Amino acid sequence: MLKKIHLSASNVNHKEILYIQEAINRKEFSNYGANLREFQIQLKEYFRERREVVLLNSGTSAIHMALINLGVKRGDEVICQSFTFAASAFPILYQGAKPVFIDSENDTWNICPNLLEEAVKARIEKGIRPKAIIIVHSYGMPARMDDIIEISNKYEIPVVEDAAESLGSSYKGIRCGAFGDFGVLSFNGNKIITTSGGGVLLCKTKFQKENSIFLSNQAKNNNSFYEHSEVGYNYAMSNIIAGIGRSQMEILDENVKIKRVIHTYYNRLFKNIDGIKLSNEPDINFCSNYWLNCALIDKSTTGFTSEYLIKGLAKENIECRPLWRPMHIQPLFKNSLFYGPGVSESLFNSGICFPSGSDLSDDDLNRIQEAIEKYIKS
């Protein structure tokens, strides 16, 4: 059997072990130490000192922390992009709040600003002001941030920007993660860089930063006898994990470059194939890290479905996947509100993600191309 080609594996820098070893030598295992300090500085510089950085144990924790900071409580409503991974929406439920899902638009596949405004108006007319708007840059493609921020300002509803898949992407020259009142990054194993598991909350003020560090370290009012007056969380990143992040941060720019080269490769491959449309930046305002390369398959032209291609490539030990199954059609959210005509559902029905990891070799890419051509022709 040929070696498995994964959907999205990250490069290694080979300094990961060095930084971990240093931490072990210093016995800095816990939530303090040089790796945490350095990793935080690197991230702060990456966001050009515009954001405060809180290192956490996952992207999901970071979204939860954002909602806690925004005072989301039981019974509140929170607007959320439907076309995403469930971790964007789960923290709404952690808070006992209710999600209101919004459909995608056709260019970026992200939240449709017109539907967003329609939903906000409709909820306010009902006497309910949503507490937050969670938007996502799916697969690395930036959402229409100008329109979203305008709506956020007009109706005074803060934005939580789920940039878990879009570290290295930008919109009009501003890095994804730095638009929202809160930004979220993930360093899960399959993301653009990894710490094996980890996340970041990006925020605007020192107070939000200090409050988030306090809450994510078990809300200890006092460091000797541990007095507690609020619910705490064990969400902090460890200094061992931060060693991986510190090393990975050094290759972030390179990874993004590689990802964009892989995208060019797929563009060339699909250019002359009718009925397979690769996702591309709508115009020069958008710069995607192309975390995953995704395409829509028009069955009436190709004669086959995305499912056929996914199964075919699996036989060649090449991992592909459908696009996100939108939240509004998930059993868990069957009672939640949804605004839109169902664009996200049709994306799910005809979409496919191709292997896009920064570790792909030229041989891997050739194997992918041959396999795709084989199944398209048969």
Ligand X SMILES: *Cc1c(COP(=O)(O)O)cnc(C)c1O
Q: Residue 327, interface with ligand X (CB under 6 A)?
A: no
Applying CB under 6 A, the site for ligand X has a residue count of 14
162 binds ligand X (CB under 6 A): yes
Contact 23, 240 (CB under 8 A): yes
Measured from the CB atom, the residue of 8 and 152 that comes closer to ligand X is: 8
Q: Which of 367, 372, 369 is nearest to 4 (CA)?
A: 367
Q: Is 118 exposed, middle or buried (0-12, 13-18, 19+ CB in 10 A)?
A: middle
Spatial neighbors of 31 by CB under 8 A, at least 6 apart, are 217, 236, 237, 238, 239
Stretch that binds ligand X, among 84-92, 174-182, 216-224, 243-251 (CB under 6 A): 84-92
Any contact of residue 248 with ligand X (CB under 6 A)? no
**By the rule CB under 6 A, 108 interacts with ligand X:** no
Token pair listed for 343? 């664009």
In this complex, which beta carbon is closest to ligand X, that of residue 60 or of residue 306? 60
CA dist 311 and 60 (Å) reads: 30
User: Considering only residues 82, 95, 110, 188, which one is a binding residue for ligand X as defined by CB under 6 A?
Assistant: 188
Residue nearest to ligand X (CB): 59
Q: Of the candidates 10, 35, 40, 60, which one interacts with ligand X according to CB under 6 A?
A: 60
Taking the complex as a whole, how short is the minimal distance between the CB of residue 224 and ligand X, in angstroms? 33
Among 199, 312, 340, 357, binds ligand X (CB under 6 A): 199
In the chain, count of helices (H) and strands (E)?
13, 14
Round the CA-based radius of gyration of the chain to a whole number and report it. Answer: 21
Separation of alpha carbons 313 and 293, rounded Å: 15
Which residue, 88 or 208, has its beta carbon nearer to ligand X?
A: 88
Stretch that binds ligand X, among 72-80, 160-168, 309-317, 328-336 (CB under 6 A): 160-168
Query: Among residues 203, 186, 187, which one has the least CA distance to residue 66?
Result: 203
Q: Is 58 in the site for ligand X (CB under 6 A)?
A: yes
Binding site for ligand X (CB under 6 A): 58-60, 84-85, 87-88, 136, 162, 164-165, 186, 188, 199
